[in-house]
Amino acid sequence: MYFVLPLLQLATLACASQIPFMRNELSSDGTTLRLSALSNEHFTVLEHPEFPSHSVRIKKSSSEFCDPSVASYTGWIDTSPARHLFFYFFESRGNPEKDDVIFWTNGGPGGSSALGLFMELGPCRMVDGNTTKVNPYSWNENANIFFIDQPIGVGFSYADYGESVSTTEEAAQDIVAFMTIFFETFSKFKGRGFHLAGESYAGRYLPVYAGAIYDHNKRLEASGVEPIINLQSVMIGNGYTDLATMIPSYYDVLCTPASVDPPFDIGACIKIKTALPRCQKWFKESCLDIFDVISCRAAVSFCSELTGGSMAASGLNPYDISKHCDDYEDTLCYPISNYITEYLNRPETREILGIPRELSNLTFSSINMELNHAFNAGLDQARVQTKFYLENLLHRGVRVLIYVGSYDGVCNWVGNNRMVDSLEWQGSASFAPQRLRPWSLIKGQEETSPSGLIKNTGNLTFLTIEAAGHMVPYDKPAESLEMVKRWLRREDF
């Protein structure tokens, strides 16, 4: 969760901790640390000479946290100047010594990945503001998985002196440093398949992060050093990747039967249809052909008011247009998000996570709207065509999965389908002309019991999940887990 509709207007902290920390407890070979050696009483600090401005604090969580059947850890990625990115890490329920590693981030921009953890694909799900239950459809069934609050200022991530970032490219460097330090320290993960996954604005984040990791690996290879991170794939759910193809798709999902019976009245649809050519022309001329900050900002504002603003005013749930929403401002249409906020602000929970008492004024919220506005004001989503990152990753053998719930309005399947069809890479000629075909949760029942539609060529797969909204693992947990299992095993759908 979530991509926040851009037109909606929806203290300095110390680093000192009541919880002591100690530096790298090394294994017998003197070079690496065992996860099992970590304490749940103090943080261990991890460092790497290649990243002198970064370190990682990590501790084991209490066995009562989330899912007692797996080991879990929390901590911060600390950077200089004083910025601190919070993360959760859960070992696989299957074979943690051999299974791949998934890195998950939510979108926003400014959305906490605690929403992915406690609402969607994590090992547990909220029951109410005090209680969680084990999620049998968690993606850690066969993978080790990170959930990270990023960029700085999201969730339990914080800055000592008000530092911030407002572009995805800037945020990418912290991710490269974090994964390098983690994999180098816990060497059992070296060579494991590594997959970047996320939803919504992660459609902007993940291609950039994957590009930064790939380029870092190539620099290591050029200097004769074996890369530490074995980047295998990018998995983007209901992604907000390319404005040029997403903007006109709002007409399709609101005014045609592309997802559900057209939810907008005819008058509203004529207004959108009439203004779309101006929106597209203005956006192309001011944001793509050249990048004129003032004119591009005006174009984005006009297009967003035309599409996202119209959807918000309709009373629909923008994340599932088969439903109406009674409380967008307070719950973003999902009351469970308030349960997560209540749970993570409980003193007992914060103690389990290792949030020090000095950070008592660090109140958890599901989305940081100041960061959201900063990214939008900086035109992060418009100044670079993120799909170019996907094209370059595909050229270099990185697998890409784009999956979309068919009922999503804000990052809908029509726009994502157009985006993947527009990618220019060595498989374009065979991918784009393909017709979508059914796939099923149960193999062999594609025609009688389809779970969605799919097309794929080589390293690129586009897939829909029928009757799911923006948060696919929340709406269709069994289908989402089966999708991930097949993807990790490189099975046909």
373 is catalytic: no
Unique residue bearing structure tokens 């809908």 = 412
Running DSSP on this structure, what letter comes out for residue 194?
A: E
Neighbouring C-beta atoms of residue 229, cutoff 10 Å: 23
Q: Which helix (H) or strand (E) holds 45?
A: strand 43-47
Q: Which of 200, 314, 440, 451 is catalytic?
A: 200
Q: Are β-strands 193-199 and 72-79 bridged in parallel, bridged antiparallel, or unpaired?
A: unpaired
Alpha helix positions (H), 186-292: 202-222, 243-255, 266-283
409: which 2 tokens? 């309005």
In 390-474 the beta strands, taken as DSSP E runs, fall at 399-405, 437-439, 452-457, 460-465
- 52 class by beta-carbon count within 10 Å (0-12 exposed, 13-18 middle, 19+ buried): exposed
492 is catalytic: no
408 is catalytic: yes
In 61-149 the beta strands, taken as DSSP E runs, fall at 72-79, 83-90, 100-105, 124-126, 132-134, 143-148
Please give the C-alpha separations between residue 295 and each of 191, 282, 374, in angstroms, as whole numbers: 46, 8, 18
Unique residue bearing structure tokens 């060497």 = 187
- Dihedrals phi, psi of 354, to nearest 5 degrees: 90, 25
- Widest CA span of the chain, in angstroms? 72
Q: Are β-strands 452-457 and 460-465 bridged in parallel, bridged antiparallel, or unpaired?
A: antiparallel
Q: 237, 199 in Cβ contact below 8 A? A: yes
Q: Which of 259, 337, 470, 480 is catalytic?
A: 470
Q: Which of 67, 174, 380, 408 is catalytic?
A: 408
Running DSSP on this structure, what letter comes out for residue 142?
A: S
In three-state secondary structure terms, 81 is coil
Q: 117, 453 in Cβ contact below 8 A? A: no
Q: 156, 113 in Cβ contact below 8 A? A: no
67: which 2 tokens? 């899912």
> Distance of alpha carbon 17 from its chain centroid, rounded?
29
Please report how many Cα atoms fall inside a 13 Å half-sphere around the Cα of residue 35, on the Cβ side.
21
Rg (alpha carbons) of the chain, rounded to whole number? 22
User: What are the residues whose beta carbons fall under 8 Å from the beta carbon of 480, sequence distance 6 or more?
Assistant: 121, 137, 139, 403, 465, 468, 472, 473
Active-site residue list: 200, 408, 470
